[in-house]
Structure 1
Amino acid sequence: MDMVATSWRLTPQSLPLLPPKVRSFRVSTSSSSSSSSLSLSPVIQKTLSLIQNSGVIACLRANSAELAYEAATATLDGGISVLEIVMSTPGVFQVLRQLVKDYPTLALGVGTALNAEDARNAMNAGAKFFMSPATVKDIMEDVVKDEILCIPGVMTPTEILSAYDAGAKIVKVYPVSALGGVQYISALKKPFPHIPMVASQGIMIGS
């Protein structure tokens, strides 16, 4: 599956800017996607498909659980189907559990998972995916075979290939704006057309 999705940061203060329907960013899929998807579990395949169809992962950071829940519901009701709540948000797992109950068909996950415990807690709270700013060995070894999509952070071609070889089905290119933005992603897709990528950092509404 050749995929380029985009992650943009959402804060409660940005909610008035949200249109009723958020425009999807471009996602490209190669002809090899059908063969690569055969090895995926139905749960992970569904999450990948939601990311592919959406083309954007909204990243939510809030100062309280109440604000996080309000911002998340406004975002999801506004048309976003893939939402990441950052680990630093107070009560992140409680918020996630409630959102999973309220929006069972959407892809809800956790961001900035730094260790296997974070990943396990996310999975126990009902997360369909989690993101890390780096490729964390303990996470890859502990949960890569579970029914949750692990999206490790990468920066260089070596890191991309290493994460993919370790079992990652999709990688997060971070910090993409500091690395050259669209041009950097385009350059990476030439040697790695078979590795799905999420462009992360510095992406805002309207980017």
Structure 2
Amino acid sequence: MSAAWLALLKQHRSIAVIRALELAVGIEMANATAAGGMRLIEITWNSDRPHHLIQQIQNDLPDCVIGAGTLRSTDEVQQAIEAGAQFLFSPHTDFSMIEAAVRREIPIVAGALTPTEIMRASQAGAACVKVFPIQAVGGASYIRSLQEPLGEIPLIPTGGVTIDNAAEFIRAGAIAVGLAGQLFPKQAIETGDWSIVEARSKQLVENLRSV
């Protein structure tokens, strides 16, 4: 399970994080980023009807891998799995949540920040560790500084990753990066100009292709 997930991350290197206040908007966001070439899409659990959103996007975009994020309890982990989520993200480390995901053989990425937190999340069974918020602790240089002591733990920085600096994080040692607002600017969402999202997604994919 983890090996297949890690292979996907190494292949695609980026995850589009969708937080949608309306289900229909979430579908458009997913379609646009997929049109730009992204294949890993996370639906945050504080989106409008996230279980329906996951199922609809899976039907619409069979070439994409759809997961759930911003999961904060074991109940939400179970709900996301029942909805068909193929991977899970949490902003924190909760051992019971990790155990629930591992038991169902769904890769879970637990949130952590310090070396101690990162190690504990990994030892508990997290498939990867989400280093969040990365901007607050030095960006790519922080990921680079973790490589010598913790280089065997796959890290996914979020919270400060941009289209322009995404490749720097991969070069620093991250296995992949997660982007939300950078892909989905407020103006594009409000006006429904999905060409902006598609173009940003395409640029991100292109920037990461050479890494």
| Range class of TM-score, shorter chain | 0.7 to 0.9
Partner of 1:77: 35
Residue correspondence of structure 1 range 110-189 to structure 2 within 5 A: 110-189=68-147
Q: Which amino acid aligns with 2:79?
A: N
Supply the distance in 1 between the matched residues of 2:64 and 2:56 (Cα, whole angstroms).
Answer: 13
SS at match of 1:191: helix
Alpha-carbon distance, 1:109 to partner = 0.7
2:155 maps to 1:197: yes
- Give distance in 1, aligned partners of 2:5 and 2:31: 19
User: Which consecutive residues of structure 2, in runs of 5 or more, have no partner in the other structure?
Assistant: 166-211
Give the Å deviation of 1:106: 2.3
Offset at 1:49? 1.4
What is the CA distance between 1:127 and its match in structure 2? 0.9
CA distance in 2, matches of 1:204, 1:150: 23
* 1:95-114, Cα deviation, whole Å (9 max, x unpaired): 10111223334221111100
CA distance in structure 2 between the partners assigned to 1:104 and 1:115 by the alignment: 28
Find the partner of 1:93 among 51, 54, 58: 51
Deviation of 1:157 after TM superposition, in Å, equals 0.5
The size of the alignment, in residue pairs, is 165
Whether the aligned pair in 2 keeps the contact of 1:85 and 1:109 (CA below 8 Å) is yes
What TM-score comes out, normalization by structure 1 length?
A: 0.75
Amino acid at match of 1:148: I
What's the offset of the Cα at 1:138? Answer: 2.0
3-state SS of 1:109 partner: strand
- For residues 204 and 66 of structure 1, the distance between their equivalents in structure 2, rounded to whole angstroms, comes to 25
Taking structure 2 as the reference length, the TM-score comes to: 0.74
- How far the C-alpha of 1:53 sits from its partner, in A, is 1.0
| Partner-residue secondary structure (3-state), 2:149 | coil
Counterpart code for 1:46: A
Tell me whether 1:57 sits opposite 2:15 in the alignment: yes
Aligned to 1:8: none
State the shift of 1:45 in Å.
2.9
Q: State whether residues 50 and 107 of structure 1, in contact with CA within 8 Å, keep that contact through their aligned partners in structure 2.
A: no
**Residue ranges of structure 1 left out of the alignment (5+ in a row):** 1-40
For 1:182 and 1:206, the matched residues in 2 are separated by 12
Quick check: which one's helix share is greater? 2
Give the superposed CA RMSD: 1.3
- Which stretch shows the higher mean deviation, 95-104 or 73-82? 95-104
Query: Deviation of residue 46 (structure 1)?
Result: 2.5
Query: Alignment partner of 1:202: what SS?
Result: coil
Q: Name the SS of the counterpart of 2:144 in structure 1.
A: helix
How much has 1:186 moved relative to structure 2? Answer: 0.4
Secondary structure of the residue aligned to 1:144 is helix
Identity of aligned residues (%): 35
Measure, in 1, the Cα distance between the counterparts of 2:147 and 2:51. 34
